[in-house]
Amino acid sequence: MSKSQSFTTNLTMSHTTTVLTPDGSMEQVEQIAIESPYSIALNDEPIGSSMVLPIGLEEFGAGFLFGQGYIKEPGEVKEVYICPDGRIAVYADVEITEPKEVIITSGCGGTGKISKEMLEGAFDPLQECTITFPEISSFIRQSLQSSPLGPQTHCIHGCGFWQNGKLQVFYEDVGRHNAVDKVLGAILLGKITPRGAIYTTGRLTSDMVLKCARIGIPIIMSRTAPSSLGLAIARRSGATLAAYARPDRLNIFNAPERIVI
Amino acid sequence: MSKSQSFTTNLTMSHTTTVLTPDGSMEQVEQIAIESPYSIALNDEPIGSSMVLPIGLEEFGAGFLFGQGYIKEPGEVKEVYICPDGRIAVYADVEITEPKEVIITSGCGGTGKISKEMLEGAFDPLQECTITFPEISSFIRQSLQSSPLGPQTHCIHGCGFWQNGKLQVFYEDVGRHNAVDKVLGAILLGKITPRGAIYTTGRLTSDMVLKCARIGIPIIMSRTAPSSLGLAIARRSGATLAAYARPDRLNIFNAPERIVI
- Which string of DSSP letters, residue by residue, matches chain B? -BSS--S---SEEEEEEEEEETTEEEEEEEEEE--EEEEEEETTEEEEEEEE-SSSHHHHHHHHHHHTTS--STT-EEEEEEETTTEEEEEES------SSEEE-S-BSS--EEEHHHHHS--PPP----EEHHHHHHHHHHHHHT-THHHHHS--EEEEEEETTEEEEEEEESSHHHHHHHHHHHHHTTSS-SSSEEEESS-B-HHHHHHHHHHT-SEEEESS-BBHHHHHHHHHHT-EEEEEEETTEEEEEE-GGGEE-
Confidence of residue A104 (pLDDT cuts 50, 70, 90): low
The beta-carbon neighbor of B17 closest among A21, A106, A251 is: A251
Confidence of residue B261 (pLDDT cuts 50, 70, 90): confident
Cβ-Cβ contacts under 8 Å for B156 (sequence gap 6 or more): B33, B53, B147, B149, B150, B172, B173, B174
Tell whether A160 is within 8 A of chain B (Cβ). Answer: no
Supply the ipTM of this predicted assembly.
0.88
3-state secondary structure of A60: helix
Chain A residues with CB-CB distance to B112 below 8 A: 104-105, 112-113
Q: What is the DSSP letter of A62?
A: H
Confidence of residue B4 (pLDDT cuts 50, 70, 90): very low
The beta-carbon neighbor of A228 closest among B35, B49, B108 is: B35
- A1 vs B151: which has the higher pLDDT: B151
**What's the mean pLDDT in B251-257?**
97
Residue A60: predicted pLDDT = 97
Confidence of residue A8 (pLDDT cuts 50, 70, 90): low
Chain A residues with CB-CB distance to B20 below 8 A: 133, 249-252, 259, 261
Q: What is the mean pLDDT of chain A?
A: 90
For a pLDDT cut of 70, what percent of chain A falls above it? 90
Least confident of A249-253, B2-6, B213-217, B257-261: B2-6
**What's the mean pLDDT in A242-247?**
96
Tens of pLDDT, residues A51-70: 999 999 999 999 999 998 99
- Closest CA–CA distance from residue A2 to any residue of chain B (Å): 23
Q: What is the mean pLDDT of chain B?
A: 90
Asked whether the beta carbons of B17 and B8 are under 8 A apart, the reply is no
Tell whether B253 is within 8 A of chain A (Cβ). Answer: yes
Q: Tell me: pLDDT of A108 over 90.
A: no
Residue B107: predicted pLDDT = 45
Chain A residues with CB-CB distance to B174 below 8 A: 106, 203, 205, 227
State how far the Cα of A109 lies from the Cα of B17, in Å rounded to an integer: 27
Task: Answer yes or no: do B203 and A25 touch at CB < 8 A.
Answer: no
Tens of pLDDT, residues B5-58: 444 579 999 999 999 998 999 999 999 999 999 999 999 999 888 899 999 999
Residue B163: predicted pLDDT = 98
Asked whether the beta carbons of B62 and B76 are under 8 A apart, the reply is no
Chain B residues with CB-CB distance to A57 below 8 A: none
Residue B1: predicted pLDDT = 39
- Closest CA–CA distance from residue A94 to any residue of chain B (Å): 22
- Closest CA–CA distance from residue A135 to any residue of chain B (Å): 12
Residue B121: predicted pLDDT = 82
Chain B residues with CB-CB distance to A33 below 8 A: 225, 227-228
The beta-carbon neighbor of A28 closest among B106, B111, B251 is: B251
Q: Tell me: pLDDT of A122 over 50.
A: yes
Confidence of residue B105 (pLDDT cuts 50, 70, 90): low
State how far the Cα of A250 lies from the Cα of A53, in Å rounded to an integer: 29
Chain B residues with CB-CB distance to A248 below 8 A: 21-22
Interface of A with B in 77-116 (CB under 8 A): 101-113, 116
Q: Tell me: pLDDT of A95 over 50.
A: yes
Least confident of A22-36, B93-107, B162-176, B237-251: B93-107
**Which candidate in B35, B116, B251, B257 is best for mutational testing of the A interface (most A CBs within 10 A)?**
B35
Tell whether B200 is within 8 A of chain A (Cβ). Answer: no
Q: Which one, of A120, A143, A131, lies nearest residue A229 by Cα?
A: A120
Q: Which one, of B182, B200, B199, lies nearest residue B191 by Cα?
A: B182
For a pLDDT cut of 90, what percent of chain A falls above it? 81
Task: Answer yes or no: do B13 and A228 touch at CB < 8 A.
Answer: yes
Q: Tell me: pLDDT of B162 over 60.
A: yes
